[in-house]
Structures are given as C-alpha cells and as structure tokens.
Amino acid sequence: MKDSLRQRFERLAMRLAELDANLADPAVTSDMGRYRQLAREQSEAAEVVQLYRQYEQRERDVAGARELLADPDMADLAHDEIASAEADLARLDGQLQLALLPRDPDDARNAFLEIRAGTGGEESALFAADLARMYLRHVERQGWRSEVMSESASDLGGYKELVLRIEGDGAYGRLRFESGGHRVQRVPATEAQGRIHTSACTVAVLPEPDEAAEVTLNPADLRIDTFRASGAGGQHVNKTDSAIRITHLPTGLVAECQDDRSQHRNKAKAMAVLAARLRDKERSEREAKEAATRKSLVGSGDRSDRIRTYNFPQGRLTDHRINLTLYRLQAIMDGDLDEVTDALRAARAAEQLAALEEGSA
C-alpha cells in the first residue's frame, strides 16, 4: 500500500476519534440535525478504519510468518499462513480502495420512480405497465415497500404515466441507473399481422429529499389545483375534489397525487414529489455544468435517449451504457434485476477509481 494512502487512513482514524468525542457532547446531541450528520459520518469512517486495522493486522501476520520460515518444523505452517494472509490483504486492499470513493449521500435515500409512455402509442403505454410490474416485483425481492403517488391509465390497461415512491435502505442507490430511455422490440398485443414493433418509455429515478434538509418552497411560487381523482375508488371519487396538482411557477414543474382520499395527505405527498423534482433539477444542472468541459473534449457519448433495449423475440436485454447483454429477459421482467444493477454500480465504481488514480498520479 502506498504511503499516501496510509496517511489518508490514519487521518481518517484521527477524524473518527474526533467524531466519537463530538457525539458524546451534550451540545451536539441537543441539535438533531447536526447529530444525524455527524452520526452518519462516524458510521462511514468507523467502517473504513476497521477495514484498515484488519489490513494492518494481516500485514503483521505476514511479517510474523516470514520469521518462522527459518524454522524447519514451522516452515509449512508459515507458508500456509503467508498465503492466507496475502489473499486477505488483496481482498482488503480492494475494499479499502472502494471505501475511498466519494459517496453520494443520496444513495441511501428512498426514491421516487417515474415511468412515462413515449413513442409507440398504446404499445408504449402497455410497455410502461410491464416496466412498472418489473420494478414492483424487484421492490418485493429487496424487501422494500412501494406506494403509488399518481397514475394515468391508458385505454388498454397500460400507463401513460405512473409515479411510485420506493421506501427501503439504499433504494435510490440501487435504482438510480434506471433513469433514461427504455426501448422495447416485440410483437404488440395490438398487432394483427405479427410484425415486430419498436416503442419506448422514459424512466426517471429521484432521491426523496431529507425532511430535515428539504427544498424550501415559497408559497407565492406555487399554484395548487384540486380535482376529482380518476380510476378505481367507487362513488367517493365522483363526489370529492381530493386530488391535488401543484405547479411550481418559476420552473413549470408539476406534481400531483390522487392516491389518498384525504386532500391534506395528497397535498403533502405532491409537495414531497415536487421537492424531489426541484432538487433533481438543481442537481442535474450542477452536474451538467461540471461535466461541460470534459464533454467538450471527449464528446458527450450521451445514450440517455436509449439506455436499454428489451428484445422479446430474442429474449435479450442490452444495456447500451456498459455493453451488457443478457439472454434472460423473462427473469428480469419478473423483477430479477440484481445482475443488471450490480453491473452498473460496478462500472460506476470502476470509473470513480480510475479518476481517483488519475488524480493522485
């Protein structure tokens, strides 16, 4: 391990001691916002420092075993210990490198997942429903919870638009790479001639804002409309204007919720979605500005208009961002997304590691 890395880990260990002391300070515990921030930092630092201490211990084990090589009675045992310790060192070194990568605090948050039908008419709306089913089954597999925030159904049972709230540890971090254009190639249920059609949907995944640091919404910037909810609900939906639509006038962003019979609860949910969209807009603008220089040099390579293709005749899923092709489309549509999301997260980590090494070179 490079000395520069050792110094970083030692500084982190010193910071951990400071955090432990701060969290025991009554002045900090009385400020819940600051306490949560420091507790999160302390948890992350403790995890890394523990890995580093394990690494140091295995280094000492190797050194001790090498001293035993001169003893004929202990040489075989020493060789086994050296091999075991060096394997552990390689594993720990990889984990420590990943631990140095900058962490996006949003990764641990709940998520809003929005699906919208695109080109392809009714077939696109049906594909949006298939994507919704895929994500909902994936949510069940992860042990997370889901909630429909708003929906706009199509004539044949698809969705023109659907907004879900996904609640679970690390939901946004695992689903964030789903944002973009999803293209499907198949024979639609509406096709009488058996021809393969291509249609598309867009997916957007937004982190749910932290209530303690939520976007401040100026009431003067908001237009709030009430309307009658559509869809299932019996006679109630025909009598009460319980659905809420909120428009942020400066940006034109709109959020609505009609899931609850309570107008007050629908308003709270719509405000949460609007805050998430505003936060994502600010984040996207900031990231676009930061990446502008690099993109002008290397070309954008932007495939956001088509991040993934679902080819049903071939049973094939292709993620164009990382050139991943899997011939297990039905399992994926049934919610088994782990292989895809893991590959995307690994690709992101590899990019971050390369940038880190380039920066420290």
Binning pLDDT at 50, 70 and 90, where does residue 87 land?
Answer: very high
359, part of any domain = no
**262 and 316 part of one domain:** yes
**53 and 110 part of one domain:** no
Domain termination residue (choose one: 78, 99, 120): 99
251, part of any domain = yes
140, part of any domain = yes
Q: Does the pLDDT at position 360 exceed 70?
A: no
Number of domains in the chain: 2
Query: What backbone phi and psi angles, to 5 degrees, belong to 100?
Result: -80, -15
Residue in 83, 100, 84, 93 with CA at minimum distance from that of residue 55? 93
Domain termination residue (choose one: 77, 99, 121): 99
Q: Which domain holds residue 284?
A: 105-296+304-351
Beta bridge partners of 243: 227
**161 and 290 part of one domain:** yes
358, part of any domain = no
**Residue 157 half-sphere exposure, CB side, CA atoms within 13 Å?**
4
**274 and 190 part of one domain:** yes
360, part of any domain = no
The mean pLDDT value for 13-26 works out to: 92
Q: Does the pLDDT at position 183 exceed 90?
A: yes
Q: Which of the residue ranges 18-32, 174-188, 251-265, 336-350 would you say has the lowest mean pLDDT? A: 251-265
**124 and 232 part of one domain:** yes
DSSP character string of 78-94? HHHHHHHHHHHHHHHHH
Q: 3-state SS of 122-182?
A: HHHHHHHHHHHHHHHHHHHHHCCEEEEEEEEECCCCCEEEEEEEEECCCHHHHHHHHCEEE
361, part of any domain = no
Positive/negative CA dihedral, 50, 56, 62, 64: negative
Share of the chain above pLDDT 90, in %: 43
**77 and 185 part of one domain:** no
Domain termination residue (choose one: 69, 99, 129): 99
Residue pLDDT, tens place only, 286-340: 667 645 543 443 333 333 468 999 999 999 999 999 999 999 999 999 999 999 9
**54 and 111 part of one domain:** no
Contacts of residue 305, defined as CB under 8 A and 6 or more positions apart, other chains included, come to 180, 181
Do residues 154 and 130 touch, judged by C-beta distance below 8 A? no
pLDDT confidence of residue 343: 92
Cα–Cα distance measured from residue 340 to residue 326, given in angstroms and rounded to the nearest whole number:
9
pLDDT confidence of residue 289: 65
The domain that contains 157 carries what CATH number?
A: 3.30.70.1660
Tell me how long the chain is.
Answer: 361
